[in-house]
Amino acid sequence: MTATERPNIRNIDCSLHDHIEVVCLHGYEVELVTRDGTRSRGVARDTKTSEGKEFLLLAGAKGEFEVALHELQSLQVLTPGARFSVLEFGN
């Protein structure tokens, strides 16, 4: 099934993928906001693909969790001295 066959799943730009990889590589602490307004905070660990969806894996105060990349609205890097501070994923 392609992204066009899944109306609730959108592809994210390649440059955003690159930034997500940097976030994981450096273990940045981030605050995420999803399209429905949910906020979560954690240390970026890795990415994974499952059933055609991509996820950011994080370690938070209550343990490990994951967020679907297609659900992200924004990502703010909280780690001082990071290479960038905010990613906007659009609508």
User: Would you list the DSSP string of 26-62?
Assistant: HT-EEEEEETT--EEEEEEEEEEEETTEEEEEEEETT
Instruction: Tell whether the model's pLDDT for residue 68 goes beyond 60.
Output: yes
For 16-88, give the CATH class. mainly beta
Which amino acid is located at 75 in the chain? L
Q: pLDDT (tens digit, 9 = 90+) per residue, 17-34?
A: 899 999 999 999 999 999
User: What is the structure's pLDDT at 15?
Assistant: 83
Instruction: Tell whether the model's pLDDT for residue 91 goes beyond 70.
Output: no
φ/ψ region of 85 (left if φ > 0, alpha if ψ in -120 to 50, else beta) reads: alpha
66 within 8 A of 58, measured Cβ to Cβ: yes
User: What is the structure's pLDDT at 8?
Assistant: 55
| pTM for the full predicted model | 0.84
Ordered by start, the domain boundaries in the chain are: 16-88
